[in-house]
Structure formats: C-alpha cells, structure tokens
C-alpha cells in the first residue's frame, strides 16, 4: 500500500509517454507534452503578473545562490486549479498533500545553484516548515517554455541534464524506498544564457498541507 504523499512508480509508468531515467540512486521520471502550448502560455502570463524575487528557506550567506523570481499561484484560478488536479491524477497523490503551486521565472544569468527540495532535519527551516505537514516527498516540475540557450536542470550525482522544453514534466522522489532523504536529488537550475525560462513546481508532503 502506498504511503500518503507517495507516488508509485508503476502508476507513473502507466501514463502514455512517461519515461524513467535508468538509475538505482534516484527515482526520476520525464514526460514530454504534459501540458499543451496554450496551457503553458496561460501559466506564463500568470507568473509574469505575480512574480517577486525568490528566497530560500535556510539562507546560507550566498546572495547569488537563487537569483530567480517566484510566485505562489492560487488554486482559485482556473488554470492553476486545473493543473493541480491534473498533477494529482498523474501522481496518485491526494490534492490535500499538495503545497500551493509555485511559478519561477529566470532572466539571463539567473540560476538556482545545486540544492535539494527537502528540508534538512536539525535546521531552523525544518522546524518552521515541517511541523504541520511533514517533509516534502515528491517534486513535480513542468517547463513552460523552450529556453533559447541554457537553463537546463542538472542532477549532478546521477550525471543527468534535463533540457527545458515547453510542456515537459520532470518528477522525482525526494526520498529513498526506505523513507530516508535522498541526497542524489541534488539539482542545479543552470544559468539562462539567452531568453527567459518559466517553470511551475508542485511539491507534495507527508501529511495534508495546512
């Protein structure tokens, strides 16, 4: 039986077009054309309207660690609510376990240096962000445009670089099969070299979001 907040691999692989990256160190899945061009364009429009400078939960003293812009998008907006439901159906994770969808916008030269999505136990941000809803389990990320140059996502530990293409879904489990945190999820949103990059991300939690 699947734990709350978890997405079984066989369910993901049952989706037409879903591929699994061959690695014993990380559960990583990719699917092209998860969103249509029209769906992507509407989400880009919303991000353009709402974005603000990004922050990180546990500041490490490097002001250039994350230089993108960010926005939290309300499920009350039809395009956002529709995407949240679509991701919930694809993942098999109940919508109650989903954080608010977050949009990200990268200009030329902007990046998010190598990081993991989970919260490190013992850090102040863990106590602040995990007390109610628990740890992040899965990350589901969709590229909303094809970047002219740069902007790839690099998973250094498994030597995998994912190029940003409009509508492409990238999903990974932030934990190992035994429930421990998986450091092999370390990933780098590399610098945009030409154009802009738009992404939307859904994180899921162990317990219902609240």
Distance of CA 129 to the CA centre of its chain: 17
User: What is the predicted pLDDT for the residue at 62?
Assistant: 62
Give the pLDDT band of residue 1 (cuts 50, 70, 90): very low
Six-digit token string for 206: 């162990």
Orientation angle between helical segments 37-50 and 78-91, nearest 10 degrees: 120
What value does the mean pLDDT take over residues 139-165?
A: 98
Q: Identify the band that residue 208 occupies on the pLDDT scale cut at 50, 70 and 90.
A: very high
Identify which of 5-19, 47-61, 123-137, 162-176 has the greatest average pLDDT. 162-176
Q: What is the mean pLDDT of the chain?
A: 93
Higher pLDDT among residues 122 and 138, named by residue: 138
- What is the spatial distance between Cα 210 and Cα 208, in angstroms, rounded to a whole number? 6
Asked if residue 17 lies in contact with residue 33, where contact means CB atoms within 8 angstroms, the answer is yes
Fold of the CATH domain 9-200: Jelly Rolls (2.60.120)
Q: How confident is the model at residue 123 (pLDDT cuts 50, 70, 90)?
A: confident
Q: Is the dihedral of CA 126, 4, 36, 161 positive or negative?
A: positive
What are the structural domain ranges in the chain?
9-200
Nearest to 206 by CA among 142, 131, 141: 131
Instruction: Tell me the C-alpha distance between 62 and 43, whole Å.
Output: 30
Question: From the centroid of its chain, how far is CA 66?
Answer: 15
Provide the whole-model pTM. 0.93
Distances in Å between the Cα of 38 and the Cα atoms of 30, 100, 197, 201 are: 20, 21, 16, 18
């Amino acid at each position: 039986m699947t734990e709350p907040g978890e997405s079984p691999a066989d369910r993901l692989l049952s989706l037409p077009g879903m591929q699994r990256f061959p690695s014993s160190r990380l559960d990583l899945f990719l699917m092209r054309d998860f969103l249509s061009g029209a769906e992507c364009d509407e989400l880009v429009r919303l991000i353009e309207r709402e974005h603000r400078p990004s922050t990180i939960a546990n500041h490490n003293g490097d002001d250039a660690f994350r230089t993108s812009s960010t926005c939290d998008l309300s499920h009350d907006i039809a395009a956002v609510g529709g995407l949240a439901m679509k991701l919930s159906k694809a993942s098999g994770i109940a919508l109650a376990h989903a954080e608010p969808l977050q949009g990200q916008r990268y200009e030329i030269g902007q990046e998010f240096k190598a990081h993991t999505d989970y919260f490190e136990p013992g850090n102040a941000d863990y106590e602040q962000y995990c007390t109610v809803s628990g740890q992040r389990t899965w990350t589901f990320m969709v590229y909303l445009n094809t970047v002219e140059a740069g902007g790839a996502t690099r998973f250094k530990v498994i030597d995998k670089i994912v190029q940003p293409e409009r509508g492409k879904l990238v999903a990974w489990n932030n934990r190992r099969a035994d429930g421990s945190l998986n450091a092999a999820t370390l990933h780098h949103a590399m610098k945009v070299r030409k154009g802009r990059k738009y992404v939307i991300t859904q994180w899921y939690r162990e317990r219902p979001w609240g």
